[in-house]
Structures are given as C-alpha cells and as structure tokens.
Amino acid sequence: MRTFTLSDFDFTLPQELIAQHPAPERSGSRLLDGTAAQPVDRIFRDLPLLLNAGDLLVFNDTKVIKARLFGEKPTGGKLELLIERVLSGNQVAAHMRVSKKPEVGTTVALVGAPGTHEALSATLLGRWPDAQGALFRFVLSNDAGDDPHTLMERHGHVPLPPYIEHTDSAEDAARYQTVFAKNPGAVAAPTAALHFDDALLAALEAKGVQRANVTLHVGAGTFQPVKTENLAEHQMHSEWYDVPLATQHAIADCRARGGKVIAVGTTTVRTLESWGQTGQTSGDTRIFITPGFEFKQVDRLITNFHLPKSSLMMLVSAFAGHEHIMALYRHAIAQQYRFFSYGDAMLLTKEG
C-alpha cells in the first residue's frame, strides 16, 4: 500500500472561495455528489433523492458555546480566552492569547456584554491537563456565582474559525449552530449539519430515512494543520464523545434491514469509529484517521470541504480514496464551490 505524507494532502485554494457568510438558506447550499466515478453538481435540498428508505443519518448534536472572552490583565495588557472545556468548580480549560502570560494566581478582568455592569473575572490556576498541557486552567466568577456556561452565554462571543475575517454577529449566533443543537460544549460547529433545516429534515422523514444522534464536542484543534511530513509523528488533539444506547440500537437495526449508515460530518465519523475501534461508548478520543484505516461503522459521509494539510483531509481521503477526493476538490475549485465552515458540502461513499 502507498505511504502517504503531508504533501499529498495539499492543494491551492483561491482566497475568494473561502465562505465568509452562510448561504441565504441552509439547504440552498450546493452539494457535490461524489458517490460515483464522475462528480454531479446538485443542491443540498436534493439529498432525499440520493438516500433510500431505511438508511440512517447520524448527526452530532453538540451545541457551540460562546467560548471567546476578552479581558485585561492588572498591568493593562489585553488578553483573549477561547474556552475549550468546562471543568468542575467553575473551572475551565482555555487557550490564551496574550503578549506576556500572567503568573499563576493572577486575576484578570473580563469584558462583559454591552449594557451589563457585573464584575466578571478569570483567575489563572495553571496549565491543563497537566503542567505541560497546552491549555490553561482558570476559575470564572461573577458577583452572582453563575456557572461558566451561563457566563459564556451572556458575555461570550461566537468562536468563529480563524479564516472567517469578520467579528461575530447575530447572523453567526443563529447560523453557526445546527437547528437541532442540544448538548453545549463545542467551540466549532459540526459544519456538515449546518445545511439541514426543518423542511429538509421533514422531507427525509417522509422518505423513510431514519435519524440518530451522537455527541462530540468539537475542539479548536480541528482547524490546526498537520505539521509533520511523516503522518505517524502527528499528535491529535483530544475531544469528548458519547454514543447513546438508542443510537447503538438504531445502527444495529439499520444493519439488520440492509440500510446504510450515513455520518453527517467528520465529527460523527470520529465518534462512531472511536466506538468501533475501542468498544467505548463515551470518553475522550484522539483518533487519527488516515488512508489505510478500516472503517467499521460508516458507509456514507456528508461533509464540507476542508483545509489543506488538515487531519480532516486525511480522514475523507481514507474514506473515499485519495485520488477520488483530490479529483473532487479540483472539480469543486473549478466550479467555484464555497469552502470551509460556511461553505458547500459533498456526499461520499466508502471506497471499496
């Protein structure tokens, strides 16, 4: 089998194809049908035509939290936190962007939402998950003793990806979230699911397509490019997932009736295949899917277009075949599909 290196997953993308805003209608995005040898250009609301009664769509029901907070050190220096995970005791694990890191024990004043006057602060306790961890552990507090989720919802900003150049707005609060988001904890949206609206979900139900949910709280590491030419040297970020018992049964029932399990997004793939690989239905995963991976749970995949040299490019190449994926990307660029989180989608079938 061919040995792949980082350079195999690179491509040149014109800057103007990076979508800065969502399509006017969720299901009005374009859909590149990559299930056959030759690509077919469609609209996302055509999806029911491509699925069969008895198939099972598996969604990631994570909810994006307003995880970005801004503040000021006692010295006057500016600081930005991106909260990756809520811990116990009003503690959070966060990325910190600052010119000079404050000392452990420092309390920084956080900027509240316009029109609010409560005192909001974060105290640095150390690194997380250990002394060498990449994240920082803070205690969030206000006068009322509210929990971190409440504070973020009231004062935080939508954690838009680094390639989206505008500050977050009401449009982002509504559209950088799925219509069925349920379990708060993600700092990035499961973007393939952003294309589904209530009308499309109703049409799929009328077709006889079943639905099930998993949860994976998407971390900021999803946007990080792989930097090692030798893929085996790459260290994946950790994300928490859960496969409910009802979903386990739904997948077994789908198999029994001869239907296909269709993952909506790479986060759903990571969740299902982590379960398939380890047998653990809940926990943290660092699964790194590259060509040669044996998929045990997923037959088809709905996914957006991904960053060059990213672990997600490797995942879709492992799923549908490297040459096929690179040909689809060339077609998408030539046809001016919109890329990344607010961009268009494609439908893939597992190779072989």
Confidence band for 41, pLDDT divided at 50, 70 and 90 = very high
Give the whole-angstrom CA distance, residue 324 versus residue 163. Answer: 26
β-bridge partners, 186: 64
Give the whole-angstrom CA distance, residue 59 versus residue 57. Answer: 6
pLDDT digits (tens, 9 = 90+) for 178-232: 999 999 999 999 999 999 999 999 999 999 999 999 999 999 888 888 999 999 9
Give the whole-angstrom CA distance, residue 196 versus residue 218. Answer: 18
Contacts of 298 (CB under 8 A, 6+ apart): 261, 262, 263, 268, 269, 272, 273, 319, 350
Contact 188, 218 (CB under 8 A): yes
- DSSP 8-state secondary structure symbol assigned to residue 233: G
Instruction: Write down the H helix ranges in the chain.
Output: 47-50, 148-155, 170-175, 198-207, 245-256, 266-278, 311-320, 322-334
| Among 174, 161, 171, 295, residue whose Cα is nearest residue 218 | 161
Confidence band for 118, pLDDT divided at 50, 70 and 90 = confident
Other Cβ atoms closer than 10 A to 180: 15
pLDDT digits (tens, 9 = 90+) for 53-94: 999 999 999 999 999 999 999 999 999 999 999 999 999 999
Contact 6, 325 (CB under 8 A): no
- Quote the tokens at residue 97: 């962007």
Percent of the chain with pLDDT over 90: 92
pLDDT digits (tens, 9 = 90+) for 235-275: 998 999 999 999 999 999 999 999 999 999 999 999 999 99
